[in-house]
Every structure is written in structure tokens, then in C-alpha cells.
Amino acid sequence: MALYPLKFEPLLKSKIWGGTKLGTFYGKVIEGHCHVGESWELSGFGNEQTVVTNGFLADNELGELVEVYMAELVGEKVYETYGDEFPLLFKLIDANDNLSVQVHPDDEVARELHNANGKSEMWYVLHAEPGAQIIAGLKHPMTPDQFKEELDKGNILQHLQTIPVKIGDVINIPPGLIHSLGKGVMVAEIQQASDITYRLYDYDRVDADGNRRKLHIDNALRVIDFDNNHTPLINYTQKNNAAVNIVKNDFFTTNIICFDRTIQRDYSPLDSFVVYMCVAGVCTLRVEDYVMTLKAGETILLPATTEEVTLRPLVHEQIKILEIYI
């Protein structure tokens, strides 16, 4: 039987900084979970596998599908590069409190220290309370010794760049960029399939048992971009009934599609799977004779065999979808 657009059951993650907005905004079933900070929408990472919920492949894990369908699911070049490993991870994140100040390694360091992938990622802001902000980068270049001295003094926040954010903002976070989501911000996150985070500062918080979370100062100092030459906030202009690129790097391309009428997307030239993360509105999605509904807060995987998709709004409003591929 032919492959078709796939929906998955999200994996909900409790975090010390998490809240309830993933339930109230997007209907995620958060009962039984305390402080839900993350919804892993689509994951083939290690043992953290999302499971198909629609069609004849229901109850199969993403990793199992990659093993069986290989290039049909992910694309020839993607399968040649990554094999049975699904290369990306897709999340919704609710920062009910400040996240730790952190940094991620690149592939070279991650493979040396952890035999794992590094982490390049991006955020699309879904919601921001008045006055909400993020941390992204240094205010000025520093040496590692200067940084460590200020960290030891408890002064490091004074040297970090804060950026006010609003709905629709895009933040690109390459390895080495110090960053943190601030209280009251909710984002869609697209990243390499990796869970390596080096915490630098965690606001002296303790868990339910009175323990502080582990910091990773030495590893962080090794990977931080101290030159501070990266501009994290992406400037882009939406176009109605069209796709606009917002992030393109060595690991993924992300476009935003905004539309208020029926449109078609042609993927026949593309040798990759495509992921849709709906961030506003509700629409129908048609691939040949297969039709499904896609609404804000939902994520869909289109197999690499998909040639054309028809998207049609269900109500008279602008629909916004993040379109991601390799």
C-alpha cells in the first residue's frame, strides 16, 4: 500500500519550567503530567519514538517506518546520509518560567564527547506574554576567561543579549550560541535529532527533592561562540498564498506558508520528506485521494514519495504552516 500523510501521538515532557498552555492552546492531553514544558510532536530519536495515529500504519513508531520504507519515506539522499536514523526532531515548548541559560555543541564536539549529533535549532514564536523576551548571544565579545570570571561572580546575565519577542518572530540558534527562552514564551522548535544541552546557569532553582539541576560549565566553555558575530533574530516578510524561506542551514530548510485560499505545493523535484507544523488556523490537506484535517498545534509528516499537496482553509482566515525539509 502507498505511503500517505502521517500524524503521530506527541510525547509530553514535564519540566521544572513547564506550564499548561500546550493543553489550553492546542488541546494536548496533559492530565497526569506536571508542568508540561515540551510536546515532542515528531521524533525518531533513540527510545523517544512518536507513534502513528492514522491509517494502516497506526501504532507503528517513526523509527520502525524508516527501517521498513527507507528512501520512500525520507528521500534517497537523506537515507544515504542518515540511514535508519530520522535526522530531525520537532517540538512545541511552553516556557511558564525561564529556561536555563544553555548552549549546544556542533557535530564534531558532540561526536567526540557523546558519540551523538550536535544540535542546530530554530524557534518560531507561537505566543508571548507582554514583556516576554529571550536570551540569545552575548552583548559583546568576551574571552573564555572573562566569561568564566563573570559566571563565577554570578554576573553572567549582565553580559547576555535579551530580545523582546512577539508572535511570528523567528530565532536561529546554531551550535555555540548561548540562549534561553524567557517566561511567558511558547515556540515551535525544529532541531537536529539530539538531546545534548550544556547548562550554564539555572537561576539557582531546585527540584521537588531540593536538588539543583546539573550544570556543564567545562563543556559549555569549549563550545560557546565568544566572538558574538551571529544575529539570531531573522527578518522576513510574509507573502499571502505563498511560501517564504525563514531558515536554511546544513541540516534543514524551514519556510512559512501563509494562505487564505486553496493552494498547491509541488514536491516532485524534492528528494526529502516534508514536515508541516500548523501554527495558525485550520485547513484540509489532500494528497491524491487521501484527505485529512490539519489545525494549529498539529504536525504532519509527508513521505518523500509525495508529489503534490492541496491545502484548503476550512474557515475564512489566514492559515500559517511551517514547512520543513532537508
Q: What percent of the chain has pLDDT over 90?
A: 92
Distance of CA 137 to the CA centre of its chain: 19
Residues facing residue 9 across a β-bridge: 51
- DSSP three-state, residue 108: helix
Mean pLDDT of the chain: 95
- pLDDT for 4 equals 98
Q: How confident is the model at residue 34 (pLDDT cuts 50, 70, 90)?
A: confident
The Cα 19–Cα 21 span in angstroms is: 6
Could you tell me the three cell numbers for 284?
484540509
Asked whether the beta carbons of 103 and 220 are under 8 A apart, the reply is: yes
The reply to whether 79 and 180 lie within a common domain is yes
pLDDT tens for 49-91 read 999 999 999 999 999 999 999 999 999 999 999 999 999 999 9
- pLDDT exceeds 80 at position 121: yes
Which pLDDT value is given to residue 228?
74
Whether 87 and 175 map to the same domain: the answer is: yes
Chosen domain end from 181, 213, 234: 234
Q: Which three cell numbers stand for residue 62?
A: 517513526
User: Do 132 and 19 share a structural domain?
Assistant: yes
Q: Are 62 and 182 in a shared domain? A: yes
pLDDT tens digit string along 147-177? 999 999 999 999 999 999 999 999 999 999 9
Choose one of 234, 250, 271: the last residue of a domain.
Answer: 234
pLDDT at 209: 75
Question: 283 and 208 in one domain?
Answer: no
Task: Indicate whether 210 pLDDT > 90.
Answer: no
Across the range 207-223, mean pLDDT stands at 88
Burial category of 173 from C-beta neighbours within 10 Å (exposed 0-12, middle 13-18, buried 19 and up): buried
Task: Look at 68-77, 210-219, 232-241 and tell me which has the smallest mean pLDDT.
Answer: 210-219
Q: Is the domain of 148 the same as that of 280?
A: no
Residue-range definition of the domain harbouring residue 117: 6-234
pLDDT over threshold 80, residue 208: no
Question: Domain with 189 in it: what CATH number?
Answer: 2.60.120.10
Q: For residue 165, count other CB atoms closer than 10 A to its CB.
A: 23
* Dist CA 134 CA 42 (whole Å): 24
**Residue 40's pLDDT band (boundaries 50, 70, 90)?**
very high
User: Does 271 map to a domain?
Assistant: yes
> How much is the average pLDDT of 189-198?
97
The dihedrals phi and psi of 265, each to the nearest 5 degrees, come to -120, 130
pLDDT at 53: 98
Which cell numbers in the block locate residue 69? 520504507
**Do 263 and 117 belong to one domain?**
no
Residue 205: pLDDT band with limits 50, 70, 90:
confident
What's the whole-model pTM score?
Answer: 0.96
CA 171 to chain centre: 11
How confident is the model over 240-289, as pLDDT tens digits?
999 999 999 999 999 999 999 999 999 999 999 999 999 999 999 999 99
Mean pLDDT to the nearest integer, 43-50? 96
In a domain, 1, yes or no: no
* Domain finish residue from 208, 234, 260: 234
Pair 200, 246 in one domain = no
Same domain, 197 and 269: no
**Residue of 196 and 1 predicted with greater confidence:** 196
Query: 215 and 252 share a domain?
Result: no
- Domain assignment present for residue 142? The answer is yes
Residue 211 confidence class, pLDDT cut points 50, 70, 90: confident
Look at the chain and report how many structural domains it folds into.
2
Active site residues: 199
